[in-house]
Amino acid sequence: MRKVWCVAWTEYCNAVRSRAFIIGLLALPVIICISVGLQYVGAKQRDISDRKFAMVDRSGELFSVVAAKVRERNARQVFERGEQGSGPQVRPAFIPERVEPGAKTDADLEAELSERVKRKELSGFIFVGTNLFETGTNVAPRFAWHAQSHTDNELADWLERTIAEEVRRVRFERAGVDRAVISRLTSVTPMRRLGLGSVDSATGKVVKAKEQNRIATMAVPVGFMVMLYMMVMSAAPGLLNTVLEEKMQKISEVLLSSVTPFQLMLGKLLGSVLLSFTLSALYMGSAVTLLLKAGMLGLIPPATFFWFVIFQVLALLMFGAIFSAVGAACSEIKDAQNLMFPVMMIVMLPYFAFMPVVQSPNSTFSVVFSLFPPATPMLMLMRISIPPGPPVWQIALGFVLTTAFTLGCVWAAGKIFRIGLLSQGQAPSFAKLVKWVLSK
Amino acid sequence: MPGGLQPRDRPRVVLPGMIAPTEPSAGRALAVRLSNVTKTFGSHTAVDDLSLDVPAGSVYGFIGPNGSGKTTTLRMILHIFLPDRGDVEVLGGRSTRAASDRIGYLPEERGLYKKMTVRRVLAYYAALKGMNSRDTRDAIARWLAKMGLEKWADKKVETLSKGMAQKIQFVSAVIAKPRLLILDEPFSGLDPVNLEVLRAAILEQRQEGTTVIFSTHDMSMAEQMCDAIFMIYKGRKVLDGTLASIQERFGAGTIRVRSSGGVEALKGIEGVELVRDLGQVQELRCKGDAQEFLKVLTGRARVQLFEVAKPSLHDIFIRIASPSAEEVRRA
């Protein structure tokens, strides 16, 4: 075991001293900061140039209303209101243009106005049909917005809201209904989403249920899964590279003159576990500190942390063994990449299934999928982090199955590792790998 | 060597048409004993019924053409490969794994972590051999000073020249004071200065009682350094003994000649076979009387050198492993 720890410690030191580790360690917080910063800057630096639009109003009643609402909006929303009156411009001004259809057909108008949009004279144009105020008609009234791009929807959304509002107002008026009454009768107090109440065992007082943050409750299981996935992907694939490099550099030959192949592989796996623990201590520690400061630590069931560590070790040993075996079996990076594809598909499996599991953690789909060993570490952890969590027997079964599967992976990978490490030439086929595993 | 192996007393295998092995180990304890060892890879037999005794404290040269089974044999001694048949005994025990801490190994080229510093690589390899950190620290300082590489201790391996890297590789093999040192092509690609440094270091190891086995394609180096030479060809042993005993067996009729007629003057002389044309000197094998051959040659050209000599190891190697020798054996 002394030699195994010697290999593990060297692997760990090599990894944490590498430039890639430092860059990788800083990458996550830096990426988050950059992302938030870009969103902030992007919001500040939005395009506030005028949005000129044409309106073909065959109803004859809506353009004047829209024009009035535009004036009102431009006066209120285009400039930030400072203490001394108007501040800097923060939103684009809308500029409507009435287009008289005359004898022209809609198709002619559409072609003509489209050309103006292409020439950048207009941001877009809107058609309003004659029968927009009518209800129960068989023919749907024309109500359409045309633009070259539909990614910037501020103007289109505003027009849709404003015209729909006016149409509803006119309809109520024509039907002789007081809109205020309708509004009062249809308004219902929004339902609150609360957790569970409890009784304080020390004081005997009832502790009222607290408000639940829907986003936060969703973020916890997803966050744990992503964190575990990151821990695995930060440490396990590196094993492929180190094993392959050692093989190509004939280092493995020197090592095998001192340790057995299994000792070598086990040392490497333990090194990757140490590396992963370092990363999770840093990231998880930061996340817990932030949650503690925000008073949101209670959102995480305490058992989740325990199972995070257990499943982290199992996932690393499982995937690390597979990656090591792939590295040992190949003699070139190109060959390793080909063998990596099916492995990556298995690693990615929980990602494909996580949404239905979060939405319905106790469905048959979630139970079955979370008991499938390659997916168990991430999906079972996810289920554990959603109160009240899965039944204990499911966690126990998942743990036993995953442990057995991991031991199987380590055993099989050990066989491939032993034979592959000293083999040269073309990468073995899948059938050959199976043969190696079954060899004595 | 307490509890060491003793030389076998059974007769050695002599292959048809090959050279009978000699007995270099008589009366001495053994560092390595291979007994009828066979190793196959699929349908290819890499090592075939090989028996070998390496006396403790000797320098044993492994020679043979590429792909003849040298590295496979070395790997079986190192317990990296297990033989399909036969026994491998190293440093007094059957389990060579148990002896691994007392074996130093230098693979052919490379074998070092490029991104690690020289000191860390050496410390790692020493730790794997069971050395404690204080002894390792002292040994690293001593060896680097001996190799003239003290200033490179904290430099990354990737910054070293090939010669420096080869010397560090050697240090990594000897740092834990092995009893058996296995070197695969240790002189490959070295300049004469570094070659001499390494040669001296290897001989120093022998003086300290370490058994050295090294494979090489450099026949003159094997002649100069080895107490005994072992040649493997197509997985089978074809030579095993001291250089003198081998030369004795191959020595008959070897003549070195330099004449004004060069190689042209030798053509057509009955009973003479040109073994090697070295340019100015030709190496010949004479089946008949050498004096008669000299008379004929002096009639054809002015003879500047005429030497009845022992064959070089190079010559013997060629005689065994050249395609023409193979044809003769088949015939």
Same-domain check for residues A120 and A253: no
Task: Fill in the amino acid letter for B23.
Answer: E
Of B103, B127, B182, the CB nearest to A6: B127
Residue A224's Cβ-side half-sphere holds a number of Cα atoms within 13 Å equal to: 30
Indicate if the alpha-carbon torsion angle B141, B147, B150, B154 is positive or negative: negative
Confirm whether the ipTM is greater than 0.90: no
Q: Residue A189: what pLDDT?
A: 86
Q: Do A251 and B113 touch (CB under 8 A)?
A: yes
> Is residue A312 pLDDT above 80, yes or no?
yes
pLDDT digits (tens, 9 = 90+) for A328-363: 888 777 888 788 888 888 888 888 888 888 888 889
- Residues contacting residue A30 through CB under 8 Å, at least 6 positions apart: none
Same-domain check for residues B209 and B293: no
Q: What is the total count of domains within chain B?
A: 2
Q: Residue A82: what pLDDT?
A: 64
Same-domain check for residues B187 and B262: no
Position B105 in a domain: yes
CATH of the domain at B196: 3.40.50.300
Q: Residue B325: what pLDDT?
A: 61
Q: Do B112 and A422 touch (CB under 8 A)?
A: no
Contact residues on chain B for A18, CB-CB shorter than 8 A: 115
Nearest to A267 by CA among A49, A6, A59: A6
Same-domain check for residues B285 and B213: no
Q: Residue B109: what pLDDT?
A: 67
Q: What angle do CA B186, B192, B198 make, to 5 degrees?
A: 40
Cα–Cα distance measured from residue B237 to residue B252, given in angstroms and rounded to the nearest whole number: 22
Q: Residue A339: what pLDDT?
A: 80
Q: What angle do CA B238, B243, B247 make, to 5 degrees?
A: 75
Position B83 in a domain: yes
Q: What angle do CA A141, A145, A147 make, to 5 degrees?
A: 155
Q: Do A260 and B97 touch (CB under 8 A)?
A: yes
**Beta-ladder partners of A52:** A95
Same-domain check for residues B133 and B194: yes
Position B153 in a domain: yes
Same-domain check for residues A258 and A355: yes
Q: Which residue in B has a C-alpha nearest to residue A14's C-alpha? A: B116
Position A138 in a domain: yes
Q: Residue B290: what pLDDT?
A: 81
Position A199 in a domain: no
Position B165 in a domain: yes
Same-domain check for residues A395 and A255: yes
Q: Are the C-beta atoms of B247 and B261 separated by less than 8 Å?
A: no
> Is residue A423 pLDDT above 80, yes or no?
no
Nearest to A376 by CA among A218, A228, A234: A228
In chain B, which residues have pLDDT < 50? 1-25
Same-domain check for residues B52 and B116: yes
Same-domain check for residues A281 and A379: yes
3-state secondary structure of B289: coil
Same-domain check for residues A127 and A218: no
Residues of the domain holding A66: 48-179
Same-domain check for residues B284 and B210: no
Q: Residue B324: what pLDDT?
A: 61
Q: What is the total count of domains within chain A?
A: 2
Distance from CA of B232 to the nearest CA of A (A): 21
Q: Residue B323: what pLDDT?
A: 65
Position A27 in a domain: no
Q: Which residue in A has a C-alpha nearest to residue B117's C-alpha? A: A14
Best interface-test mutation with A: which of B71, B88, B112, B128 has the largest number of A CBs within 10 A?
B128
Same-domain check for residues B43 and B180: yes
Position A202 in a domain: no
Cα–Cα distance measured from residue A15 to residue A86, given in angstroms and rounded to the nearest whole number: 57
Averaged pLDDT, A375-395: 89
Say what angle helices A179-186 and A154-175 make with each other, to 10 degrees. Answer: 110
pLDDT digits (tens, 9 = 90+) for A19-46: 878 887 788 778 888 888 888 887 777 7
3-state secondary structure of B280: coil
Of A6, A253, A422, the CB nearest to B111: A253
CATH of the domain at B293: 3.30.70
Q: Which residue in A has a C-alpha nearest to residue B181's C-alpha? A: A257
Tell me which DSSP letter residue A429 carries: P
Q: Do B105 and A257 touch (CB under 8 A)?
A: yes
The domain boundary residue, chosen from A179, A198, A229: A179
The domain boundary residue, chosen from A131, A163, A179: A179
Of A2, A3, A257, the CB nearest to B78: A257
Q: Residue B118: what pLDDT?
A: 92
Position B323 in a domain: no
Position A432 in a domain: yes
The DSSP bridge pattern shows strands B236-241 and B211-215 to be unpaired
Distance from CA of B107 to the nearest CA of A (A): 7
DSSP B169-181: HHHHHHTT--SEE
Best interface-test mutation with B: which of A6, A7, A250, A254 has the largest number of B CBs within 10 A?
A254
Residues of the domain holding B237: 30-248
Of A250, A254, A256, the CB nearest to B125: A254
> Is residue A266 pLDDT above 90, yes or no?
no
The domain boundary residue, chosen from A120, A155, A179: A179
Position A376 in a domain: yes
Same-domain check for residues A314 and A381: yes
pLDDT digits (tens, 9 = 90+) for B62-71: 888 888 888 8
Same-domain check for residues B151 and B285: no
Q: Residue A413: what pLDDT?
A: 84
Position B106 in a domain: yes
Q: Residue A158: what pLDDT?
A: 94
Same-domain check for residues A232 and A145: no
Cα–Cα distance measured from residue A116 to residue A94, given in angstroms and rounded to the nearest whole number: 17
Same-domain check for residues B169 and B282: no
Contact residues on chain B for A256, CB-CB shorter than 8 A: 78, 80
Same-domain check for residues A132 and A227: no
Q: Do B116 and A14 touch (CB under 8 A)?
A: yes
Same-domain check for residues A284 and A416: yes
Q: Residue A30: what pLDDT?
A: 85
Position B13 in a domain: no
Q: Are the C-beta atoms of B38 and B85 separated by less than 8 Å?
A: yes
> Is residue A424 pLDDT above 60, yes or no?
yes
Q: Do B101 and A254 touch (CB under 8 A)?
A: no
Distance from CA of B116 to the nearest CA of A (A): 8
- Residues contacting residue B166 through CB under 8 Å, at least 6 positions apart: B109, B186, B188, B189, B190, B194, B198
Q: Residue B10: what pLDDT?
A: 36
Cα–Cα distance measured from residue B185 to residue B183, given in angstroms and rounded to the nearest whole number: 6
Cα–Cα distance measured from residue B242 to residue B228, given in angstroms and rounded to the nearest whole number: 4
Same-domain check for residues B113 and B168: yes
Same-domain check for residues B237 and B104: yes
Q: Residue B3: what pLDDT?
A: 41
Same-domain check for residues B165 and B265: no
Averaged pLDDT, A128-152: 81
Q: Do B80 and A258 touch (CB under 8 A)?
A: no
Same-domain check for residues A340 and A260: yes
Position A276 in a domain: yes
CATH of the domain at A171: 3.40.190.10
Confidence of residue A95 (pLDDT cuts 50, 70, 90): very high
Position A194 in a domain: no
Cα–Cα distance measured from residue B101 to residue B55, given in angstroms and rounded to the nearest whole number: 19
Q: What is the average pLDDT value for chain A, to the nearest integer?
A: 85
